[in-house]
């Protein structure tokens, strides 16, 4: 297939076309410390660090790890909200050739036990308030030490040492790391099975940085702002986008709608990242005269609801850029710098290939929905597999393509439209229905907090569309209002028959809705049936 290559203007300060052996995190830190020594690279915990200081922090943290007996190839887990120690350990591990394993701060019980067993972490650095989660489980024999970022709690765990995180040590030279060596293992939450540890090689972060910097036009004059968690790929990659372009990144502790715009203005941010419900939450706030009084020029915002995209940009005065990437792959599809096309994720980016295939991996014609397969022309731009899960690795990377599990349509002009996760497609009366589109339409209602669309069996053993919805505190919403809203925005066959207004939705540790639980539960005593207009049993 033909690759579309219409890249935006490339920043002259970005590191690109590097020899492969220099596409590692330690090499990037060294090169950019020489080029931008006293310029600010990182702001976190209300303190700023120059390029030189961040490089030295990585080298000194590596010295500390070495003195603590952590060896190349071993694993160091990290469990905390956004704070300096998280990025410090990630970079220090990369410098030493140790593998960092950032864990979702919401993990508990068997989830924590699984990732610690699967990753074979030797040490875990964490906020002391999370230590009690380790007391609740059987720790694997591979874990020998717990390092606390703050005070040490009065817990005793047999065969494990609990102590303060060691102090920085004398800087050491970077270990000899190849671009294909695993730098970080990131656990993706499974909605039907256990989490898989994605092995992210050193060079994958370089390609993330260069690809997204190109798409967003990031230069040394930019200030990047993220409130996304450092245990996910987006925030880590945003750091590398700043690193390769000579820009500055501000990492906030968390997303706060009430503080978001004041922080954007205070830091004079020009680039930001809006994922999931963030667009809806910001839009739902009452308009203010100063909504567009800020320095933002662009945001990476995949899956922005079609109905909100244009209105959001007009109200807040900056560009939203859609795209497609995953922990296993890279920023492979993007709508920048093309004319916006709401509802489409973009076109294939330079250095990557995409296919849309049927269940046998046979390519389907343009305009026909199928699974999105991806691969890279660039060495180590994708993850190398799932740690300690060879069968899952073979399943996802079969036939030399990464299988995303996403159902998309490729148009004749090369634009891709996301339809749904393959396992979430609903088939009703001979029509394929995108649960994603149903959720986007309902999700823009001001009272909606979260929504999940899924199939349930009804008469004649066929699927019917059901939605489960949580509403925002202090708001009211009726099934009749939902149906009326959908009638002018969805085809008749996509309008939900069953509606459940619930207090909460079952989610994974990463916040993904567990639709398998909802499908298994089906209709309940509180379910509203549009055909009966009464609660159905």
* Domain annotation covers residue 517: yes
Report d(CA 435, CA 424) in Å as an integer. Answer: 6
CB-count exposure of residue 34 (10 Å: 0-12, 13-18, 19+): exposed
Lowest-confidence region among 70-79, 122-131, 506-515? 506-515
Which residue in this structure is represented by tokens 């690279």? Answer: 41
Residue 205 is assigned to a structural domain of this protein: no
Report if residue 36 sits inside a domain.
Answer: no
Residues 76, 81, 84: CA angle, nearest 5 degrees: 70
In a domain, 464, yes or no: yes
Look at 535 and 155; give whichever has higher pLDDT: 155
Q: Which residues contact 167 (CB under 8 A, 6 or more apart)?
A: 64
Q: Is residue 482 part of a domain?
A: yes
48 bridge partner residues: 43
* pLDDT at position 495: 92
Peptide linkage before 33 cis (omega within 30 of 0): no
pLDDT tens readout for residues 178-234: 999 999 999 986 555 678 999 999 999 999 999 999 999 999 999 999 999 999 999
**First vs last C-alpha separation in the chain:** 52
pTM for this prediction: 0.86
Domain membership flag for residue 141: no
- Beta strand 75-79 with 99-103: parallel, antiparallel or unpaired? parallel
Helix axis angle, 84-96 to 51-67, nearest 10°? 70
Cβ atoms of 208 and 183 within 8 Å: the answer is no
- Of 297, 315, 415, 409, nearest to 356 by C-alpha is 409
For 528, counting Cβ atoms within 10 Å of its Cβ (0-12 exposed, 13-18 middle, 19+ buried), the class is: buried
Q: How many domains does the chain have?
A: 1
CATH of the domain at 437: 3.30.300.30
The pLDDT assigned to 536 comes to 43
For residue range 29-54, what is the model confidence (pLDDT) as tens digits?
Answer: 999 999 999 999 999 999 999 999 99
What is the per-residue pLDDT across 237-291, written as a single tens digit (0 to 9) for each? Answer: 999 999 999 999 999 999 999 999 999 999 999 999 998 789 988 998 999 999 9
In whole angstroms, what is the distance from residue 15 CA to residue 3 CA?
Answer: 23
- The pLDDT-based confidence of 403 (bands split at 50, 70, 90) is very high
Structure tokens at 149: 């970022």
- Residue 196 inside a domain? The answer is no
Q: Domain residues for 472?
A: 425-535
In sequence order, the β-bridge partners of residue 49 are 42
Within-domain flag for 452? yes
Residues in the chain: 537
Neighbour count for residue 396 (Cβ, 10 Å): 19
What are 90's two structure tokens? 């990630």
């Amino acid at each position: 297939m033909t690759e579309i290559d219409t890249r935006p203007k490339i920043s002259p300060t970005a590191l690109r076309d590097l020899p492969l052996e220099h596409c590692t995190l330690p090499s990037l830190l060294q090169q950019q410390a020489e080029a931008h020594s006293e310029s600010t690279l990182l702001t976190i915990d209300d303190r700023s660090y120059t390029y030189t200081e961040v490089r030295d922090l990585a080298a000194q943290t590596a010295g500390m790890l070495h003195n603590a007996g952590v060896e190349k190839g071993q694993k160091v887990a990290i469990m905390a909200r956004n704070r300096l120690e998280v990025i410090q350990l990630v970079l220090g591990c990369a410098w030493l050739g140790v593998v960092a394993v950032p864990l979702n701060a919401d993990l508990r019980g068997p989830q924590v036990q699984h990732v610690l067993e699967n990753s074979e972490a030797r040490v875990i650095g964490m906020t002391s308030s999370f230590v009690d989660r380790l007391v609740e489980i059987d720790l694997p024999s591979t874990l020998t030490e717990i390092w606390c970022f703050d005070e040490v709690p009065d817990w005793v765990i047999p065969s494990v040492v609990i102590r303060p995180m060691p102090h920085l040590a004398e800087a050491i030279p970077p270990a000899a790391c190849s671009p294909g060596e695993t730098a970080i293992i990131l656990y993706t939450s499974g909605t039907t099975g256990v989490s898989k540890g994605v092995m992210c090689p050193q060079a994958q972060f370089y390609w993330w940085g260069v690809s997204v910097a190109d798409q967003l036009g990031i230069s040394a004059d930019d200030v990047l702002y993220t409130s996304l968690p450092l245990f996910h790929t987006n925030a880590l990659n945003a750091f590398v986008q700043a690193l390769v372009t000579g820009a500055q990144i501000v990492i906030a502790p968390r997303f706060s709608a009430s503080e978001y715009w004041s922080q954007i203005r205070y830091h004079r941010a020009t680039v930001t990242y809006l994922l999931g419900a963030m667009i809806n939450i910001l839009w739902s706030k009452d308009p203010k005269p100063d909504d567009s009084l800020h320095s933002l020029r662009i945001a990476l915002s995949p899956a922005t609801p079609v109905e909100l995209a244009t209105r959001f940009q007009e109200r807040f005065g900056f560009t939203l850029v859609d795209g497609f990437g995953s922990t296993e792959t890279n920023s492979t599809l993007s709508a920048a710098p093309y004319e916006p096309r709401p509802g489409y994720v973009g076109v294939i980016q330079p250095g990557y290939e995409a296919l849309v295939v049927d269940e046998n991996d046979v390519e389907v014609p343009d305009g026909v929905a199928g699974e999105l397969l991806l691969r890279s022309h660039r060495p180590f731009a994708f993850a190398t597999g799932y740690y300690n899960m060879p069968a899952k690795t073979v399943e996802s990377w079969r036939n030399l393509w990464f299988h995303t599990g996403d159902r998309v349509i490729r148009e004749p002009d090369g634009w891709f439209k996301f339809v749904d996760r393959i396992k979430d497609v609903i088939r009703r009366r001979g029509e394929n229905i995108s649960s994603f589109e149903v959720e986007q339409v309902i999700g823009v209602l001001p009272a909606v907090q979260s929504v999940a669309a899924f199939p349930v069996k009804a008469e004649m053993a066929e699927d019917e569309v059901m939605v489960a919805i949580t509403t925002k505190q202090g708001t009211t919403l009726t099934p009749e209002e939902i149906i009326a809203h959908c009638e002018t925005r969805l085809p008749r066959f996509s309008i939900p028959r069953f509606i459940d207004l619930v207090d909460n939705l079952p989610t994974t540790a990463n916040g993904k809705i567990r639709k398998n639980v909802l499908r298994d539960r089906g209709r309940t005593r509180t379910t509203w049936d549009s055909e009966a207009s009464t609660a159905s049993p």
